[in-house]
């Protein structure tokens, strides 16, 4: 992991929602966007509540029509998370959203480029929030970069930096577009700007943000756009965003899926937790992939444990669900609560201490009992996370657990006895 690159800091939110800081020393935040119509107030509010409950720090809403910005005051009054208005094509929507009290505006230089219109939005944002101002994200997307009069000239100038680069021409255009657009903001003495430069291609995303981070000190909003459904978009997003974050680049992220946006929040948080960029909320589940030694239905058990932990456990304890004695003791030693399975049964450990051996049908319930009891002890200050007390002595893989080793040995005897 590279040290995080220091950027300017912007603040999103108000006294009612709380302030989310982006950039500087602030933790990397997770954003998402509602999938429904903003003008449908009740549904929009319900979706924002759902995304907030999933852990979103900031939620963006689309405002393509006047009826969408007209709905914003009611939406803002009923929600508790900073709201960003996503504006394309119509700068009036930005002015209306600011007037309604949104906490941040997103502009796309590809479709709002008229200088006087951009200046009007900047001035409205400067005056908003009782004169404290609200920030603006400048989001260039590969798909909506527009032609500029001297595009060829600028591309040639900047292109020299990227002459040996696979995406050199595109990077040159993206950077030229950002420079040109940000000049308008600087001339208005407006610096509360966040930048994004998204593409559907993970390698372009990595290259674009890497180059942008060398040239601008504004906080960066990372994302892969049009990444597809969760099943494939997850890999594309995690490759791009994970690479950038591990290189110290990125201040806020949005994973985009053609799926329920709750998944965007869950996967964004898991990415940040995995990289140690955010303090984990709730349990961390460790589970083996299973193999020919397995003798319990570990896939069903693991899904049950995942659901149960999400519902009942708030402290960041490590919980291991392992299929057999081969890797079970090792993982159980590192986990706060662990089970490893044998022949239709499970042995349960709490911080290395063996507490129970139960039949397969009781593993889930007993594991939850132990997790809740351990959580209560942590909260009461009677136990500390990650503190192993006892070295595990692995049980006899054949005698006590009757694991796959036993089957393998029996099979060998049969073959030899033929
Ligand atoms: S823990 Fe056991 S069952 Fe799970 S993958 Fe490892 S060897 Fe296979």
Q: For the chain, what are the domain ranges?
A: 10-274, 284-409
Are the C-beta atoms of residues 155 and 169 closer than 8 Å to each other? yes
Confidence of residue 305 (pLDDT cuts 50, 70, 90): very high
Is pLDDT of 413 > 70? no
323 lines ligand 1 (CB under 6 A): yes
* Distance in angstroms (rounded) separating the CA atoms of residues 212 and 206: 10
The token pair that represents 267 in the structure block: 């996967």
Tell me the three state secondary structure of residue 341.
strand
Over residues 9-57, the pLDDT tens digits come to 999 999 999 999 999 999 999 999 999 999 999 999 999 999 999 999 9
* Distance in angstroms (rounded) separating the CA atoms of residues 53 and 365: 25
Which of 287, 289, 290, 332 most suits a substitution to test ligand 1, by most atoms within 8 Å of the C-beta? 290
Are the C-beta atoms of residues 191 and 8 closer than 8 Å to each other? yes
The confidence score (pLDDT) of residue 109 equals 87
Atom of ligand 1 nearest to the CA of 291: 8
Q: Are strands 353-359 and 345-350 parallel, antiparallel or unpaired?
A: antiparallel
C-alpha dist (Å) from residue 102 to 20, 64, 134, 172:
14, 15, 8, 33
* Distance in angstroms (rounded) separating the CA atoms of residues 105 and 396: 62
CATH number, domain 10-274, options 3.90.1150.10, 3.30.390.10, 3.20.20.20, 3.40.220.10 = 3.20.20.20
403 lines ligand 1 (CB under 6 A): no
Confidence of residue 146 (pLDDT cuts 50, 70, 90): very low
Is pLDDT of 162 > 90? no
Atom of ligand 1 nearest to the CA of 325: 2
Nearest-CA residue for atom 5 of ligand 1: 290
Ligand 1 mean position, distance from CA 288 (Å): 6
In the DSSP assignment, the letter for residue 394 is P
More confident residue, 227 or 119: 119
Ligand 1 mean position, distance from CA 416 (Å): 26
Are the C-beta atoms of residues 202 and 222 closer than 8 Å to each other? no
294 lines ligand 1 (CB under 6 A): yes
Are the C-beta atoms of residues 46 and 40 closer than 8 Å to each other? no
Task: Report, as an integer, the average pLDDT of 173-196.
Answer: 93
Nearest-CA residue for atom 6 of ligand 1: 327
DSSP 299-321: HHHHHHHHHHHHHH--S--EEEE
| Radius of gyration for the alpha carbons in the chain, expressed in angstroms and rounded | 26
327 lines ligand 1 (CB under 6 A): yes
The token pair that represents 265 in the structure block: 């929040």
**How many residues can be counted in the chain?**
418
Ligand 1 mean position, distance from CA 297 (Å): 12
Q: Burial, 64: exposed, middle or buried (Cβ in 10 Å; 0-12, 13-18, 19+)?
A: middle
Over residues 239-252, the pLDDT tens digits come to 999 999 999 999 99
The confidence score (pLDDT) of residue 150 equals 61
Q: What are phi and psi of 62, to 5 degrees?
A: -85, 140
More confident residue, 348 or 176: 348
Are the C-beta atoms of residues 337 and 367 closer than 8 Å to each other? yes
Task: Report, as an integer, the average pLDDT of 352-359.
Answer: 92
Ligand 1 mean position, distance from CA 305 (Å): 17
Nearest-CA residue for atom 7 of ligand 1: 326
Confidence of residue 134 (pLDDT cuts 50, 70, 90): very high
Is pLDDT of 301 > 70? yes
Q: What is the pTM of this model?
A: 0.86
Ligand 1 mean position, distance from CA 334 (Å): 16
Is pLDDT of 412 > 60? no
Q: What are phi and psi of 119, to 5 degrees?
A: -60, -40
The confidence score (pLDDT) of residue 416 equals 46
Q: Burial, 153: exposed, middle or buried (Cβ in 10 Å; 0-12, 13-18, 19+)?
A: exposed
Confidence of residue 360 (pLDDT cuts 50, 70, 90): very high
Atom of ligand 1 nearest to the CA of 294: 3
The token pair that represents 387 in the structure block: 């503190």
Q: What are phi and psi of 256, to 5 degrees?
A: -110, 125
Confidence of residue 128 (pLDDT cuts 50, 70, 90): very high
Lowest mean pLDDT among 50-54, 155-159, 166-170, 243-247: 155-159
Ligand 1 mean position, distance from CA 294 (Å): 7
Q: Can you list the alpha helix ranges (DSSP code H) found in 79-140?
A: 91-100, 115-127
Is pLDDT of 178 > 80? yes
Q: Do domains 10-274 and 284-409 have the same CATH topology?
A: no
CATH number, domain 284-409, options 3.30.413.10, 3.40.50.300, 3.40.190.290, 3.30.565.10 = 3.30.413.10
Angle at 122 between CA 118 and CA 124, to 5 degrees: 115
The confidence score (pLDDT) of residue 398 equals 63
CB under 8 Å to 404, separation ≥6 — which residues?
292, 293, 294, 295, 324
222 lines ligand 1 (CB under 6 A): no
Are the C-beta atoms of residues 216 and 250 closer than 8 Å to each other? no
Which of 287, 289, 292, 293 most suits a substitution to test ligand 1, by most atoms within 8 Å of the C-beta? 293
| Full strand arrangement of the beta sheet holding 221-222 | 193-198, 136-141, 104-107, 83-86, 58-62, 29-33, 252-254, 221-222
């Amino acid at each position: 992991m590279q040290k995080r690159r220091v950027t300017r800091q912007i603040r999103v939110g108000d006294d009612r929602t709380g302030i989310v800081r982006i950039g500087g020393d602030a933790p990397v935040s997770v954003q998402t966007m509602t999938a429904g119509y903003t003008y449908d107030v009740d549904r929009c509010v319900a979706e924002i509540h759902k995304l907030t409950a999933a852990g979103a720090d900031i939620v963006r809403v689309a405002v393509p029509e006047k009826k969408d910005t007209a709905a914003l005051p009611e939406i803002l009054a009923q929600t508790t998370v900073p709201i960003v208005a996503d504006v394309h094509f119509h700068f009036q929507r930005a002015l209306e959203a600011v007037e309604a009290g949104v906490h941040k505006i997103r502009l796309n230089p590809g479709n709002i480029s008229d200088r006087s219109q951009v200046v009007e939005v900047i001035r409205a944002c400067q005056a908003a929030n009782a004169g404290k101002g609200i920030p603006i994200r400048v989001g260039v997307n590969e798909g909506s970069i527009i032609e500029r009069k001297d595009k060829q000239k600028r591309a040639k100038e900047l292109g020299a930096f990227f002459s040996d680069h696979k995406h050199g021409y595109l990077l040159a255009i993206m950077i030229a577009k950002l420079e040109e657009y940000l000049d308008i903001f600087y001339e208005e003495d407006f610096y509360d700007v966040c930048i994004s430069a998204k593409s559907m291609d993970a390698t372009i995303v990595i290259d674009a943000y890497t180059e942008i981070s060398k040239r601008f000190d504004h906080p960066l909003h990372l994302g892969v756009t049009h990444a597809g459904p969760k099943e494939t978009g997850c890999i594309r997003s995690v490759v791009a965003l994970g690479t950038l974050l591990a290189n110290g680049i990125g201040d806020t992220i949005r994973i985009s899926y053609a799926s329920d946006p709750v998944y965007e929040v869950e996967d964004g948080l898991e990415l940040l937790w995995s990289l140690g960029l955010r303090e984990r909320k709730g349990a961390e589940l460790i589970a083996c992939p299973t193999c020919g030694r397995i003798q319990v239905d570990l896939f069903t058990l693991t899904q049950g444990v995942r659901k149960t932990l999400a519902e009942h456990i708030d402290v960041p304890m490590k919980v291991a669900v392992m299929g057999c004695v081969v890797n079970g003791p090792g993982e159980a030693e590192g986990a706060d609560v662990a089970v490893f399975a044998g022949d239709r049964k499970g042995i349960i450990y709490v911080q290395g201490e063996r507490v129970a051996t139960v039949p397969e049908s009781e593993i889930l319930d007993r594991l939850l009992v132990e997790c809740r009891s351990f959580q209560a002890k942590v909260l009461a200050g009677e136990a500390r996370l990650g503190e192993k007390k006892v070295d595990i002595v692995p049980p006899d893989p054949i005698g006590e657990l009757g694991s796959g080793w036993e089957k393998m040995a029996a099979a060998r005897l049969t073959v030899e006895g033929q």
